[in-house]
């Protein structure tokens, strides 16, 4: 019985140490998610306005730009998956990977060959384990991405879409990331970055205006382009891709920290419940040990008394 009590005490000590670790990780994630939220809020207006500027140039331009014009028969597409470098975030990475795989299957069902680009060690490990080809990969900055990281990612993607598909380029660029909605809700979403769909942008602006209580039929301003609309698009579209990727990186970082906080809180609560259950079991074992010792003492005393009475006779 004493050995069982020692086992309970060792387990309580171990779980208590684990609880301290998960509690510390929960507090760290809570502080990081606040900073990530601020960065998301700061970057979103820039990305939105830059999208509007690109849309205005593409709408007002008489010539079709290759980065805003869909191919008649697209054959190749690129998918950028944003995962994290670290785990301990619940279903954060698995949901993003699942979204990328579903999008890949959809594009392949349309007869397109898909090149996969991945950010984050978790996504890379998933694809390497299954021996799937990765066209490009980046790691080491998913917890706190910078604009320079987004620029490094956007460079190869822009080069790929500027090439002809016959030369190894792609006709479409898609991105899969985890959108931060609230501390309790983060959804893996996929969207097409290029070619820029003017209809989808118009619908998004209409929905945003309606949600904000504004008018949805505002007249667009007229622009004159110097030296040409195509040159303006050449300058704006790389910035557009970089800003969208940067905003998606920040959204994913905030989502990851929120998921880590939620997972660590659950682990801390479970550790507390386990400590309570082990403490009760240890108390029961100690009580049983005490009861057994008392029974042995009483039995021994009774046997001694019986032996003394027998000798007196």
Cβ neighbors of 62 (< 8 A, separation 6 or more) are: 229
pLDDT over threshold 60, residue 213: no
Cis peptide before 195 (omega within 30 of 0): yes
Q: What is the pLDDT of residue 62?
A: 60
Q: How confident is the model at residue 216 (pLDDT cuts 50, 70, 90)?
A: very low
Q: What is the pLDDT of residue 68?
A: 74
pLDDT over threshold 80, residue 305: no
pLDDT over threshold 70, residue 19: yes
Q: What is the pLDDT of residue 210?
A: 45
Residue of 208 and 160 predicted with greater confidence: 160
For the chain, the average pLDDT equals: 84
Query: How far is Cα 206 from Cα 66, in angstroms, rounded to an integer?
Result: 26
Place of tokens 């960065």: 39
Ranges assigned E (strand) in 10-120 = 76-82, 113-119
pLDDT over threshold 50, residue 149: yes
- Which of 82-96, 198-212, 257-271 shows the lowest mean pLDDT across its residues? 198-212
Q: How confident is the model at residue 221 (pLDDT cuts 50, 70, 90)?
A: low
Per-residue pLDDT, averaged over 296-300, amounts to 79
| β-sheet with 113-119: strand ranges across | 136-138, 113-119, 76-82, 172-180, 186-194
pLDDT over threshold 50, residue 4: yes
Residue of 128 and 295 predicted with greater confidence: 128
pLDDT over threshold 50, residue 212: no
Residue of 72 and 21 predicted with greater confidence: 21
Report the predicted TM-score, pTM, of the whole model to 2 decimal places: 0.80
pLDDT over threshold 70, residue 139: yes
Give yes or no for a contact between 194 and 239, defined as CB atoms under 8 angstroms apart: no
Structure tokens at 13: 């000590």
Q: What is the pLDDT of residues 155-192, one digit of tens each?
A: 999 888 888 877 888 889 999 999 998 888 889 999 88
Per-residue pLDDT, averaged over 235-249, amounts to 89
Per-residue pLDDT, averaged over 271-281, amounts to 92
Residue of 86 and 63 predicted with greater confidence: 86
Per-residue pLDDT, averaged over 276-289, amounts to 87
Query: How far is Cα 3 from Cα 186, in angstroms, rounded to an integer?
Result: 47
Q: How confident is the model at residue 5 (pLDDT cuts 50, 70, 90)?
A: confident
Q: What is the pLDDT of residue 136?
A: 92
Q: How confident is the model at residue 207 (pLDDT cuts 50, 70, 90)?
A: very low
Residue 91's φ and ψ, nearest 5 degrees, are -95, 20
pLDDT over threshold 70, residue 206: no
Q: What is the pLDDT of residues 45-84, one digit of tens each?
A: 888 888 777 777 776 666 666 667 777 788 899 999 999 9
Per-residue pLDDT, averaged over 28-41, amounts to 89
CB half-sphere exposure, 3, CA atoms < 13 A = 0
Helix axes 92-109, 229-312, angle to 10 degrees: 140
Classify residue 17 as exposed, middle or buried by CB count within 10 Å of its CB (0-12, 13-18, 19+).
Answer: exposed
Query: How far is Cα 228 from Cα 57, in angstroms, rounded to an integer?
Result: 10
Per-residue pLDDT, averaged over 95-113, amounts to 93
Per-residue pLDDT, averaged over 136-162, amounts to 91
């Amino acid at each position: 019985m004493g050995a069982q009590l020692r086992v309970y005490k060792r387990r309580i000590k171990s779980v208590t140490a684990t609880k301290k670790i998960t509690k510390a990780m929960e507090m760290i994630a809570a502080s990081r998610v606040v900073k990530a939220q601020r960065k998301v809020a700061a970057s979103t207006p820039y990305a939105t306005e830059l999208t509007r500027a690109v849309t205005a140039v593409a709408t007002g331009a008489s010539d079709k730009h290759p980065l805003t014009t869909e191919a008649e028969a697209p054959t190749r597409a690129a998918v950028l998956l944003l995962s994290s470098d670290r785990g301990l975030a619940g279903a954060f990475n698995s949901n993003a990977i699942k979204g990328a795989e579903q999008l890949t299957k959809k594009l392949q069902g349309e007869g397109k060959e898909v090149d996969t680009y991945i950010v984050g060690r978790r996504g890379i490990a998933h694809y390497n384990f299954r021996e799937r080809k990765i066209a490009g990969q980046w790691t080491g900055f998913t917890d706190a991405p910078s604009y320079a990281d987004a620029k490094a990612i956007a460079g190869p993607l822009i080069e790929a879409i500027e090439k002809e598909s016959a030369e190894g380029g792609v006709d479409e660029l898609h991105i899969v990331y985890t959108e931060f909605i609230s501390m309790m809700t983060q959804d893996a979403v996929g969207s097409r970055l290029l070619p820029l769909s003017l209809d989808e942008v118009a619908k998004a602006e209409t929905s945003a205006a309606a949600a904000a209580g504004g008018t949805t039929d505002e007249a667009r301003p007229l622009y004159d382009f110097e030296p040409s609309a195509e040159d303006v698009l050449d300058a704006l579209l790389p910035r557009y891709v970089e800003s969208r990727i940067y905003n998606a990186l920040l959204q994913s970082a905030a989502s990851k920290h929120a998921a880590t906080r939620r997972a660590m809180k659950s682990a801390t609560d479970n550790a507390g419940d386990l400590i309570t259950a082990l403490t009760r079991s240890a108390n029961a074992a100690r009580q049983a040990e005490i009861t057994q010792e008392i029974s042995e003492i009483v039995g021994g005393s009774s046997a001694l008394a019986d032996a003394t009475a027998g000798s007196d006779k």
